[in-house]
Amino acid sequence: MFFNIPETKKKRVIINTDAKNEVDDQYAIVHALLTESFDLRGLIAAHFGSKKSPHSMQDSYDEIMLLLQLMDKQGTVRVEKGALTPIPDESTPVDSAGARLIIEEALREDDRRPLYIAFLGPLTDMASALLLEPSIAERDIKVVWIGGGAWPSGNSEYNLHNDIKAANVVMRSSVEVWQIPQNVYRMMPVSFAELTRKVRPCGEVGRYLVDNLIEFNNMAPARPVEFRVLGDSPAIGVMMNDNCGRWNYKPAPEFEDGMHYIHNGKNRPIRVYENIDNRFILEDFYAKLQDFAENK
């Protein structure tokens, strides 16, 4: 890297990712791995339901390991498996190594506060950690969640759909939440031409990121033919720069089965992003990936 950041200034970060669900988690994972200001404490493989795969969490785990292999970073970061399924009800956790990692890092005494935990899929492992060890809700944690429909009404949204009960557990807790809802994470479009020009030349991982994305989009008629929304990358942007978009505090909602918001005013405020600086995020990613490829 062309600059150094003191260890004392680095942010402790955990990334929880349903990495094999689509093709945008991969960009966020690589970005996090290349971000010098992150002390990446772990990557957690998340499930993404059973509709696409009967073993979705394992698929996510395998995808994380593939990215580390392509970057020659095997063994440089802790990787744990999250829950196999959503929580069965709002009182019962699904125990996993991923949930235990969250608890371990939340309870760790470290002057570098807060602990950032980014969820690029369902909130299963965060809800499970809170149910297994309720005291972590009082620790200095920021949960950054890519999920939920547009405010104020909400709507069907994939990450929320994969564990509505877990989202309710987290929203009812006292843990700090930064929500990046669907209408905001969709503000990350990037063209195939731009990715082919700026990402694909960057070694094995660059070729994989772009070829995998284009192939995935070409598989279904409804997907765009010349661009892709990198909807998980805003989580990296706001952890780097919390003003990487306009936001407001709003009382935490709850969710009914149809995924619409219930605004009962019972829960503490959360930060809800209203827009995102996509050029800051994309240009930072391109610069880091290009530097990595040139100096590997």
For residue 269, the domain's CATH number is 3.90.245.10
For residue range 217-237, what is the model confidence (pLDDT) as tens digits? 999 888 888 999 999 999 999
Amino acid present at 228: R
- Residue 45 banded pLDDT, cuts 50, 70, 90: very high
Task: Decide if 251 is inside a domain.
Answer: yes
Domain range spanning residue 134?
7-194+229-277
Task: Decide if 247 is inside a domain.
Answer: yes
Q: Number of structural domains, the chain?
A: 1
From the number of C-beta atoms within 10 Å of its C-beta (0-12, 13-18, 19+), residue 78 rates as middle
CA-based nearest residue to 25, from 206, 209, 218, 292:
209
Residue 122 Cα distances to 1, 141, 166, angstroms? 32, 18, 8
pTM given for the model: 0.97
Q: How far apart are CA 150 and CA 273, in angstroms?
A: 10
Q: Which residues contact 215 (CB under 8 A, 6 or more apart)?
A: none
Q: How far apart are CA 162 and CA 257, in angstroms?
A: 11
The residue written with tokens 């309710």 in the block is 168
94 has a pLDDT exceeding 70: yes
Task: Decide if 12 is inside a domain.
Answer: yes
Average pLDDT over residues 254-283: 97
